[in-house]
Structure 1
Amino acid sequence: MRARTLLPAALAAALLALTGCGSSEGSASVGDAGDSPSKASSPAKSPGGSDEGGGGAEGRKVPEALTFTATTVDGNPFDAKTLAGKPTVLWFWAPWCPTCKGQAAETAKVAADYQGKANVVGVAGLDKNAAMRAFVSDTGTGSFSHLSDETGRVWKRFGITQQSYYVLLDRTGKTVYEGVLPGGKGLADKVAALTG
């Protein structure tokens, strides 16, 4: 009888932990999410011109991690191939998340400071597009692209299970960092190391 009451409580606690604002420090581990494209150790090798490994920005090889399309919170089409060849910060956030709001200013500063040297892209989820647009406006983060991922397709592609989470890719598309950076602290140093 006791097992019947403990199992639902344990499941509820696990669900809450997965959906709450992230608070754990990230790791630099690679390969934790199985076959996730963000874990690729080298660019995809496919015939040029295809979405998988074809020419991206200025004819660069496109790694598997960047072979997806999406729509921005403003309703514009977005092709991740345009990110190829530069280090990329993917910032996964939710409009109602206070931790995400706390990361906004530092993330926008990094986007401005490394414009032309690195890509910064917000990936909004876990809410409706209207709330995502309001977050971008309220936090002053409109200087860089934000994807509207209402269906969670991009989140799932990168194995993301919590908001306020960063994934950093090097020039080849290899994941070199993933985790939570409270207040965005340390993001600038990580991007500097990738652009150095």
Structure 2
Amino acid sequence: MHIVRTNRPRLHLKDSVICSRDAGAATPLVVDGGLARLCLYLPDGQRVVAGFAFAGEVVGLAQPQPSMVVEAVTTTWTHEWSNGDDAVAIDEAQMLSAALSRAMAVLAMRSRHHAHARLAAFLVDLIDRGFGTSFALPIARSDIGDHLGLTVHTVSRILSDFKRCGLIDAGPSRILSFDRIALQAVADQGGQLPHLASIDALPGMVH
């Protein structure tokens, strides 16, 4: 683990462990900058990416589950989530509520039977979490695949399908423009894409 401590603020280098059963935090941590990845490592060695935390979001518990590990995707800064006055407590409760809502959103994404619907829902989630409709994907396709239960090949193929259908437009410097309304429709309609034939229910899923 590579963590530089300065009182409560913490710096986590890329791919280091932010918190786990063996490297827990006394209190939950708020991400100040960078990107954190929440992973479940199952007994058979399989990794499931349970979610991602961006600046202003909360990671870590005082007693994390044995299989849960929070990792730094990029150089990441955090600080301890401390108790304060009533106004601060309200803000903290709102952050916790948002974190729980994201957990439910992940379950909803993974419950979709069509791979196209899963990835469409994931992209809509990024748009709604503040990225807007034009951005470079901040997350590797391998992480997206582990997050959604898809192979890397399937993630790449679906992104190509979305581009062919006009749901995604490629711009300079890997900037992509997303049609949120169309992506939401794909997520809600079982993965049906305009101008493409019917899609098999479970293409490229790994579990």
Report the TM range for the smaller structure's normalisation. under 0.3
Q: What TM-score comes out, normalization by structure 2 length?
A: 0.26
Q: Specify which structure has the higher proportion of strand.
A: 2
Q: Give the TM-score normalised by the residue count of structure 1.
A: 0.27
Higher gyration radius (CA): 2
Larger relative contact order (Cα-Cα within 8 Å, sequence gap ≥ 6): 1
